[in-house]
Chain A
């Protein structure tokens, strides 16, 4: 899980296709609702991890330029 978060700093991993894959993979054991809710939370974290450093970098760059 931590590797996933680490990887999301460099690669965008917040696409809907991954959510569907995650849901389908875990649906057999957990049903559909729990993976979708959990997957949305994970997707939000991954989106923040990918977008926040870039946003800060752009913000700082615009301040210095």
Chain B
């Protein structure tokens, strides 16, 4: 039979040509200095993007504090007769505004996270090239450059599939934080309302919720800070 032999030959040739291609591309590869420079650039850029995420979340938190404070000051001046309608309306409006801003912030954060992931894949690509060049081969040396806490080395990445079309978010700390914030805020609606009717001091509960949010945010920022502190230190050392 002639066709299978022909097919095998073709396959062999293809493999040969691939080998030749890798040989030529190795000779055309950029220098190690250039690669390290690129590595540093994408590293710094991903760090900058992480800082941007923190920045946007902080603005959102400030807005949330402000909106809760507006509701609190608004409620204290309402007459008792028209109280039920006013409290419902004001809370629903504030909740809607916060949800819209929160969801748009979430989509922005996801975009930034994807940009960071692109940088991470670029870093992995450069790492492969450096491995091929045998300039930096061991894992420890690579950790010295990237930092062992870099997402490229993290194995336990959290994956959440939100929709059926395969929309997934990697390392979605922000999503969890946003979800917690929004659920606390929406849950606090009934909580405050009930407590207010039971003639508790409103400011006590609002301050309690605020401090909960603040503690959550501080934990998030601390995690981010320690994640980057280690690998920037490693970068400087290398």
Counted as pairs of residues, one from A and one from B, with CB atoms less than 8 Å apart, the total is 44
- How far is A17 from B214 in the complex, measured between Cα atoms in Å? 11
- How far is A58 from B96 in the complex, measured between Cα atoms in Å? 42
* Chain B residue contacts of A33, Cβ below 8 A: 66, 69-70, 73
A interface residues, tally (CB under 8 Å)? 13
- Cβ contact of A17, chosen from B58, B63, B65, cutoff 8 A: B58
Evaluate contact between B68 and A20: CB separation under 8 angstroms.
no
Evaluate contact between A19 and B70: CB separation under 8 angstroms.
no
- How far is A36 from B73 in the complex, measured between Cα atoms in Å? 15
Evaluate contact between A20 and B217: CB separation under 8 angstroms.
yes
Evaluate contact between B68 and A32: CB separation under 8 angstroms.
yes
Q: Does B55 contact A (CB under 8 A)?
A: yes
* Chain B residue contacts of A36, Cβ below 8 A: 62-63, 65-66
B interface residues, tally (CB under 8 Å)? 19
- How far is A27 from B73 in the complex, measured between Cα atoms in Å? 13
Q: Does A6 contact B (CB under 8 A)?
A: no
* Chain B residue contacts of A15, Cβ below 8 A: 51, 54-55, 58
Given A32-B65, A36-B62, A36-B65, check contact A16 B70 (CB 8 Å).
no
- The 0/1 profile, CB within 8 Å of A marked 1, for residues 44-66 of chain B is 00000001001111110111011
Query: CB within 8 Å of A: which of B5-56?
Result: 51, 54-56
Evaluate contact between B58 and A20: CB separation under 8 angstroms.
yes
* Chain B residue contacts of A31, Cβ below 8 A: 69, 73
- How far is A2 from B217 in the complex, measured between Cα atoms in Å? 30
- How far is A61 from B70 in the complex, measured between Cα atoms in Å? 47
Evaluate contact between B65 and A16: CB separation under 8 angstroms.
no
- How far is A39 from B66 in the complex, measured between Cα atoms in Å? 12
Extra A-B contacts (7), CB below 8 Å, given A23-B62, A24-B214 = A15-B51, A16-B54, A16-B59, A16-B61, A20-B58, A20-B61, A39-B62
Sampled A-B contacts (23; CB under 8 Å): A15-B51, A15-B54, A15-B58, A16-B54, A16-B55, A16-B56, A16-B57, A16-B59, A16-B61, A16-B62, A19-B58, A19-B62, A20-B61, A20-B217, A27-B65, A32-B66, A32-B68, A32-B69, A33-B66, A33-B69, A33-B70, A36-B62, A36-B65
